[in-house]
Amino acid sequence: MTSTSHDAHAPLTLVVREWSRLGVTGFGGPPAHVSLLRKLCVEKHAWIDEAEFEHALAATNLLPGPASTQMAMYCAWRVRGALGALVGGVCFITPRLIIIGLAAIFINDAAPGWIAGIALGAGAAGVIIVVWWH
């Protein structure tokens, strides 16, 4: 792996913005997440070259746990170092944790009216995000 694309001086706000966006709009599971990471880190910003991305993907597929989350943290590390990996991982994972919490509320039929209203609005926003993304 080359170290030429590693820029520990990239703004942390960039990691927060991009990895939060991936966490919120990354529908489709790990294959979609990896594709979005490739588009962001290899094609759009050239932070990582294609060969390094493929090597990292192969390595994360050998490790236990979700490869897309590991790839998100690796890519954030390449952009902003250890702090970037930590922040990128949190920003990438947090939306999923919120969804799990909301799902638990809805499964138990314990959702107050205001949460049900937010869910309806989020459903409409989800359609808009998917259309806007593509």
Cβ contacts of residue 63 below 8 Å, gap of 6+? 70
Predicted TM-score (pTM) above 0.85: no
Cβ contacts of residue 7 below 8 Å, gap of 6+? 47, 79, 80
Domain contains 132: no
Domain contains 72: yes
- Number of domains within the chain: 1
The average confidence (pLDDT) of the chain is 86
Rounded mean pLDDT, 17-24: 92
Give me the domain span that covers residue 50: 12-98
Per-residue pLDDT reduced to its tens digit, 102-130? 788 777 777 778 877 887 888 888 788 88
Per-residue pLDDT reduced to its tens digit, 55-78? 999 999 999 988 999 999 999 999
Domain contains 1: no
Catalogue the long-range contacts made by 21-24 (C-beta closer than 8 Å, 24 or more residues apart).
22/72, 22/92, 23/91, 23/92, 23/93, 23/94, 23/95, 23/96, 24/95, 24/129
Q: What percent of the chain has pLDDT over 70?
A: 92
From residue 60, give the alpha-carbon distance in Å to each of 25, 39, 130. 22, 18, 27
Domain contains 121: no
